[in-house]
Chain A
Amino acid sequence: EIVMTQSPATLSVSPGERATLSCRASQSVSSNLAWYQQKPGQAPRLLIYGASTRATGIPARFSGSGSGTEFTLTISSLQSEDFAVYYCQQYNNWPPRLTFGGGTKVEIK
């Protein structure tokens, strides 16, 4: 099983500041990585797939980078609606053994 590790567990950021979230895979997943945002009581929402491609309707302040085992989600200027939990997910293996990171909570500083 590919283990995904996210850091930090909690990130305290002021509105308007930049947030950088990390995700590490226990083995290479190439660029087969997605990022999701989840707010309390809501389903996850797809933000990024293919490590760096924004999903439909996702604002340009969200960007993804990385390949292999190291990935980053950057939110360039945090808006009030961005405070949430963010998960990375790999989809590199066959047969599918899809795994998520433990999440990073972005909270208001």
Chain B
Amino acid sequence: EVQLVESGGGLVQPGGSLRLSCAASGFTFSSYWMSWVRQAPGKGLEWVANIKQDGSEKYYVDSVKGRFTISRDNAKNSLYLQMNSLRAEDTAVYYCASSASSSSWWNYWGQGTLVTVSS
């Protein structure tokens, strides 16, 4: 059974940092592009970032460029999102998700982890 389990969310002050993790199991993690997609409370979905199978390519939505860094460790079947200089508008549930290519749909999703940026 495919599982994606996010962790690391919580309450952080504006300007602070947080690192999200996503543990994958049940599929060949190293064969898939991986992404972070977020959803602000009561709002729609927004793609945040994705990363190639070997980590050699990374893409970001403009609003997080220079502040967020996506990375992965295929030996640990894990995906990460380092979030710096956090803003109130970054408050959201963050989902990790897998896809077959960089510009594609997402077939598997985790249950999400909530990040709240507030003083």
Contacts and interface: CB of A to CB of B under 8 A. Distances in A.
Given A46-B106, A92-B103, A100 B46 contact: yes
A89 B45 contact: yes
Interface string B96-119: 000000111111011110000000
B61 interface: yes
Contacts of B26: none
Contacts of A38: 45
B107 A91 contact: no
Given A43-B111, A43-B112, A99 B105 contact: no
Contacts of A94: 102-103
A45 B45 CA distance: 12
B107 A98 contact: no
Contacts of B41: none
Nearest to B33: A96
Nearest to B110: A43
A93 B44 contact: no
Contacts of A96: 47, 50, 59, 102-103
Contacts of A89: 45, 105
13 contacts: A32-B103, A43-B110, A44-B45, A44-B106, A92-B103, A93-B103, A94-B103, A95-B59, A96-B103, A98-B35, A98-B50, A100-B44, A102-B44
Interface of B: 35, 37, 44-47, 50, 59, 61, 95, 102-107, 109-112
Given A43-B110, A46-B105, 8 more contacts: A55-B107, A87-B44, A91-B103, A96-B103, A98-B47, A98-B103, A99-B47, A103-B45
